[in-house]
Amino acid sequence: MSGWDLGADHANNMTLGEKLGQVTWSLVLLIILVASVGFAMLYSAANGNWDPWASRQAVRFSVSVVMMLVIAMVDIRIWMKLAYPLYAVAFVLLVAVELVGQIGMGAQRWIDLGFIQLQPSELMKVTLILALARYFHGASVEDTGRILFITPPILMTLAPVGLVLMQPNLGTSLILIMVSGAILFLVGVRWWKFGLVIGSALAAIPIAWQFLHDYQKNRVLTFLYPENDPLGTGYHIMQSKIALGSGGLFGKGFLLGTQSHLNFLPEKQTDFIFTMLAEEFGLVGAAGFLGLYCLLLLYGFIIAMRCRNQFGRLVALGLTVNLFLYLFINCAMNMGLIPVVGIPLPLISYGGTATLTVMIGFGLLLSVHVHRDVRMSRRGMGDF
């Protein structure tokens, strides 16, 4: 690519055409490829029908691709400028969801905006990354060594986590904490401090246990002792393992997964879609898919390395960590490695907000790359 080494001065004043030239089109193609795997699986989940999932997902995705490119064109300095306001908006929405949110499946997670069922906790993941990246943009190594300096970002994380826990949504809370922790780690917070926090968190588990909802306790207990609940959640874990295992090396073939097509597999179009893929395409297909997904993560990694400003690097890495956590938690849950938590597989699982959020993330990632040479002062806004 010719655009890898634009001068900083030029980078600060790119035309739209130049910006489009800077877009990592191979990444865009990769995203479309992975999403297409998702459409195929949704097509299979509906027993070889585009309705009701695959077609709708494809339409949503197409819209989000355009949105992603628009976000990519917006100057990274504007995103930095908007980081705190956006975080504030997401936070207010989270509070609002507590007050007026739609209740579904025992949790209060949605705000019905008419055209979309908005899930503010999803938006919070992206805005928290932006806000933390802005906070640490100007921070020196010495700054991050000071407890007082890292207190505000910790509070910025824990406030939404508390709200999301109240919904209740344990999975998203954990992702918020882990993403935030990853950023703190990247900016240089000492190892021993993490050790201290993790240690005390482990010590706090018995206390935290008291605050978990019954269904959450059950999920953990069922994971630890699946034989206690062969017909409930344990049944789902068991059926998922059967589906995966029976896929074997090459799988049962597209549209031929017996576990998924005969409805033994629960939630096959959302949380357990990876299992379905592994059943129909076997170890070869599942490993290939993981490889494809890791390639996506690698792109995030490389974009962060090439970026010349701390904000962009942190945003890219934060988004990559976020994407990775989705992938890992979902797959590990499908394989029975961790308890069942309601985490979708981005670009694959059926769902509106999840697709929207992940595409916003990719938009920002592309923006980081397009504007990688933009110079930003320690204070952030100076040169704009």
Partner 1 sequence: MLSAFDRDAERQRLLTRRMLVLGGLKAGAVSALLARLYYLQIVESDKYATMADDNRISLRLLAPPRGLIVDRHGVPLAVNEQNFRLVLVSEQAGNPQEVLDKVAQLIPVSETEHRRILRDLQRSRRFAPVTLKENLTWDQVSAIEVNLPDLPGSSIDVGQVRSYPFGEATAHVLGYVGAVSEKELVGSEDPLLSLPGFRIGKNGVERHHDLALRGTSGTQQLEVNAVGRVVRELSREPGQPGRQVTLTLDAKLQHYVQQRLSAERSAAAVVMDVQTGGILALNSSPSFDPNQFATGISQDLWSRLTSDETGPLTNKAVAGQYPPGSTFKMIVGLAALEAGIATPDTRVFCPGHLELGGHRFHCWKKGGHGGVNMSDAIKHSCNVYYFEMARRLGIDRLSEMARRFGLGGRTELDLPGERPGMIPNSAWKKATFKDVWHPGETLVAAIGQGYVLATPIQLAVMTARMVNGGYAVKPHLTSEVEGLYEAPTAWPEVGVKPEHLKVMINAMNRVVTEPGGTAYSARIMQAGMEMGGKTGSSLVRRITMAERATGVKKNEDLPWKERDHGLFVGYAPVHAPRFACSVVVEHGGGGKFAAPIARDILLECQMLDAARLSAQQAERPPERAADSGTPARGTSL
Residues that bind partner 1 (CB under 8 A): 140-141, 182, 185-188, 239, 241-249, 258-259, 261-264, 278, 282-283, 286-287, 290, 294, 297, 301, 304-305, 310, 313, 317, 321, 324, 328, 331-332, 335, 337, 378
Query: Least Å distance between CB 287 and partner 1?
Result: 6
Query: Least Å distance between CB 279 and partner 1?
Result: 8
Distances (CA, A) of 42 to 49, 54, 357: 8, 5, 19
Is the CB of 21 or the CB of 145 nearer to partner 1? 145
Which two three-digit tokens encode residue 127?
């805005």
Query: Least Å distance between CB 269 and partner 1?
Result: 15
Is the CB of 56 or the CB of 308 nearer to partner 1? 308
Is the CB of 170 or the CB of 317 nearer to partner 1? 317
Is the CB of 97 or the CB of 277 nearer to partner 1? 277
Query: Least Å distance between CB 244 and partner 1?
Result: 5
How many helices (H) and strands (E) are present in the chain, helices listed first? 16, 3
Query: Least Å distance between CB 188 and partner 1?
Result: 5
Tell me phi and psi for residue 277, to 5 degrees: -60, -45
Are 234 and 242 a contacting pair, CB within 8 Å? no
Closest to 133 in 3D by CA, of 261, 309, 276, 2: 309
Is the CB of 261 or the CB of 371 nearer to partner 1? 261
Where b means 16+ CB within 10 Å and e means fewer, 209-233 reads: eeeeeeebebbbebbeebeebeeeb
Are 23 and 14 a contacting pair, CB within 8 Å? no
Which two three-digit tokens encode residue 328?
């890992």
Is the CB of 165 or the CB of 329 nearer to partner 1? 329
Query: Least Å distance between CB 259 and partner 1?
Result: 6
Is the CB of 61 or the CB of 289 nearer to partner 1? 289
Exposure of 384 by Cβ count < 10 A (0-12 exposed, 13-18 middle, 19+ buried)?
A: middle
Residue position matching structure tokens 């819209």: 63
Query: Least Å distance between CB 61 and partner 1?
Result: 25
The Cα 230–Cα 121 span in angstroms is: 32
Is the CB of 225 or the CB of 250 nearer to partner 1? 250
Query: Least Å distance between CB 265 and partner 1?
Result: 8
Sequence letter at residue 373: D
Distances (CA, A) of 33 to 39, 90, 197, 239, 320: 10, 30, 40, 29, 18
The Cα 276–Cα 240 span in angstroms is: 8
Q: Which residues pair with 159 in a beta bridge?
A: none
